[in-house]
Structure 1
Amino acid sequence: MSSILFECLYRGERYVGFDKPDAGRPLELYQVCAGQLQAEFIAADTPQQVVDSIVTHAEKITVGSGDPELRYLPPLLPESGNALLSGFMRTHKSKYETEPVEGEPFVAPNWFFKGFGSWAKMPGETLIVPEKPVALIEEPEVALVYVNDDEGNPHYVGYTFGNDLCDIGLHRENPGWNPYCKLCDTSLAPWVFLGEPPQSVTGRVTIERDGATAWEGKFSCGGDSLYYKMRDMADHLFTYPAVRRPGMVNYILLGADEASFHDGFRIGDGDRISIDFSSHKIGLSNVVQFGGRPSVR
């Protein structure tokens, strides 16, 4: 069974692939139409049925993984833009004095709106933040991917990873300004892992300035590190009709632990943030730009 799925554009056409790019190894791509993957996951009983259907019926091409005409897309992003990027705050066990108690009533953590799905940036794209942020923080996180059917029922697709870059300094000046703090671009990996949310995710962050390493540190963001259960957070969010709009895709960020900010480091204009999710052998690398105009996708 393929455990990974991604969508991309190649020479103006939409394709899906079932492997991570590997330098020097060609990619097998299968042509799909807009909305096909969403419909396939809604109708299927298992992810393998989706993979089998596409591999059996779609036209296949082979391209180089570094082909400049290949452009990755946010996972299952609808052409209509009907997608929401949001997440939860203060979810890690390290931020609590006690361990969670099995069977205790679920009390949801704070939730935030991060942006529309089309706002998500792919690896290699620039992350634009406000012109004068107080103090930025990178946040390596698990992101759950859901697609709603025509009646608004959410269907779990799988998980990917993101960098919820935000202005923690502004939040600390006034927690009520947290919605402003989140108005920074988010990097999202295009690869969806087709399986249950991960319990163990580990990796390392490297921040480069002028070509040299300025800060680095390790992180964990899997279920074993979280105070809350992943599915409890998602299930609670879906009690709200606003996120159950028909056809909507939801990218749900599940929170991050302490990072460079807590070590006294301050991210600067032009810094490159590279996040190696080493447990899953994928990475995100993006340059940060203060101010500027957002890109249009």
Structure 2
Amino acid sequence: MLLSQLILPDGNRAVAARDGGPAHLVPGAASTRDLALAAIAAGRGLVAEIAARGPGAAVDLDAALAEGRMLLPLDHPDAAHLHLTGTGLTHLGSAATRDAMHQGADPETLTDSMKMFRMGLEGGKPAAGQVGAQPEWFYKGNGHAAVAPGAALASPGFALDAGEEPEIAGLYLIGTDGQPFRLGFALGNEFSDHVTERGNYLWLAHSKLRPASFGPEMLLGDLPAHVEGNSRLHRDGAVIWERPFLSGEANMSHSLANLEHHHFKYGLFRQPGDVHVHFFGTATLSFADGITTRAGDVFEIACDAFGLPLRNPLTLQPDDAAPVAVAAL
């Protein structure tokens, strides 16, 4: 089943679900978060909660997307309580891509990227009940950096690059007792600045402080072991770059359970009512193929299992070289 949020033509928010057929509104639900809280309170899953409410009116998601009315599939009324985070070097092809960006060290010596990747290969999929190797982790921002499907990804003026990262994101809600609940999975564009990262791997944290998008729909239930989609870059109406991307545990060096543990082990990330969007990593980048993006380019990330494709145009903010002045009180 796929779940999404949208603005109806009358301006009201709504939640829509579909399961192999047309989409229908979920009665009594204005947000995925409220729907999930109701499911938690009733002691049942999202699919059961949706089934208990019965199908509402039919809704045209393609029209909503074309008209700019699709919202993120999960959000929070207070943007500061939505956390965008992610893990890197989690996919079987990711180490080669990352290592190529950080060349220049002694070829006989493993880079830190390769060391981290090897840790994942050797200990990223522990047995049930065991804790595995700690992955690379990064922070992207809060809900103010979360961009709706179809909306523009804005690269700041000081950025050196503006590149897509096609990924699967896990979408979570923290229950009233601090229990993390995974609601589902969505296509994600973990938009990053790869030139800044390449300059010095310690600038990875800076390179990740960029907007990101996910959706338009959220896949409920388990993530397929093998996910194969396509990442495309459109320019002036033509596709100038395209590659398949792989995800799912069959293509990863870490299990989802291990990645989730190493995120939610921090009490900071188990605050009741908070929403988390956690990107699981990728091995496919147009930047790795020498592509430099431009304003007006459109990123597209698509996989049939996740419903509608995720598309976002690129905009470049003005380059203001003046330092940010802090006022003293």
Aligned equivalents of 1:168, 1:80: Cα separation in 2: 30
1:30 aligns with 2:27: yes
> Which residue of structure 1 aligns with residue 3 of structure 2?
5
- Report the CA distance shift for 1:136/1:18 in structure 2 as closer, same or farther (over 3 A): same
Give the alignment of 1:235-246 within 5 angstroms. Answer: 235-246=261-272
Q: Tell me the SS of whatever aligns to 2:176.
A: coil
Residue 226 of structure 1 pairs with residue 246 of structure 2? no
CA displacement, residues 237-274 of structure 1 (integer Å, 9 cap, x when unaligned) = 11101111110011110001132111111122221111
The DSSP-based 3-state class of the residue aligned with 1:5 is strand
State the TM-score, normalized to the length of structure 1.
0.86
Determine which structure has the larger strand proportion and give its number: 1
Residue among 14, 39, 42 paired with 1:41: 39
Q: Does 1:93 align with 2:92?
A: yes
Distance 2:216 2:60 in 1: 17
Is the CA contact 2:298–2:313 (under 8 Å) kept in the aligned structure 1? yes
1:275 aligns with 2:273: no
Q: Which amino acid aligns with 1:36?
A: D
Range with bigger deviation, 87-96 or 234-243: 87-96
Residue pair 1:8, 1:70 contacting (<8 A) in 2 also: no
1:165-190 Cα shifts (integer Å, max 9, x gaps): 10011011022222221122212113
Deviation string, structure 1 residues 50-83 (Cα, Å, up to 9, x no partner): 1123327xxx334443157772222331212321
* Aligned mates of 1:100, 1:137 — CA distance in 2: 30
C-alpha contact (below 8 Å) 1:21/1:27 kept by paired residues: no
Distance 1:78 1:135 in 2: 29
Structure (1 or 2) with the greater helix fraction = 2
Q: Give the structure 2 partner of residue 72 of structure 1.
A: 70
Map of 2:82 onto structure 1? 83
CA contact (8 A) 2:186 2:306 kept: no
- 1:138 matched to which residue of 2? 164
Q: Secondary structure of the residue that 2:258 maps to in structure 1?
A: helix
* Matched AA of 1:123: P
What corresponds to 1:15 in structure 2? 14
Q: For the residues of structure 1 that align with 2:218 and 2:284, how far apart are their CA atoms?
A: 25
Give the equivalent residue in structure 2 for 1:61: 57
Which stretch of the first structure deviates more once superposed, 228-237 or 73-82?
Answer: 73-82
Deviations 1:193-222 (A, max 9, x none): 111123111122221222222212111122
Alpha-carbon deviations, 1:77-112, whole Å to 9, x = none?
A: 121232111110111112256954664861111111
The whole-number CA distance in structure 1 between the counterparts of 2:20 and 2:296 is 26
Is 1:114 the equivalent of 2:137?
Answer: no
Q: How far off its partner does 1:117 sit?
A: 2.8
Q: Percent identity?
A: 27
Counterpart in the other structure of 2:183 = 157
The yes-or-no answer on 1:261 pairing with 2:260 is no
* 3-state secondary structure, aligned to 2:47: helix
Distance in 2 between residues matched to 1:222 and 1:201, nearest whole Å: 5
SS at the partner of 1:136? coil
For 2:151 and 2:307, the matched residues in 1 are separated by: 20
Which TM-score applies when normalising by structure 2?
0.78
Among residues 186, 194, 217, which one is paired with 2:220 in the alignment? 194
8 Å CA contact retained: 1:77, 1:118: no
Separation of aligned partners in 2, 1:51 and 1:278: 22
| SS state at 1:262 partner | helix
- Residues 151 and 272 (structure 1 numbering): CA distance in 2 closer, same or farther, change over 3 Å? same
Deviation at 1:151, TM superposition (A): 2.1
SS at match of 2:309: strand
Q: Counterpart of 2:135 in 1: which secondary structure? A: coil
* Gap runs ≥5 in structure 2: 96-116, 320-329
| Cα RMSD (Å) | 2.7
Work out whether residues 2 and 306 of structure 2, in 8 Å CA contact, stay in contact via their aligned partners in 1.
no
Q: 1:229 to 1:64 in 2, by over 3 A?
A: closer
- Cα pair 2:26 2:50 within 8 Å, conserved: no
Report the Cα offset of residue 138 of structure 1: 1.3
Q: How has the CA–CA distance of structure 1 residues 110 and 26 changed in structure 2, closer, same or farther, with 3 Å as cutoff?
A: closer
How far apart are the structure 1 equivalents of 2:261 and 2:121?
21
Q: 1:277 to 1:26 in 2, by over 3 A?
A: closer
Contact 1:166 1:184 (8 Å CA) reproduced: yes
Q: Relative to structure 1, is the Cα distance of residues 40 and 130 closer, same or farther in structure 2, using a 3 angstrom cutoff? A: same
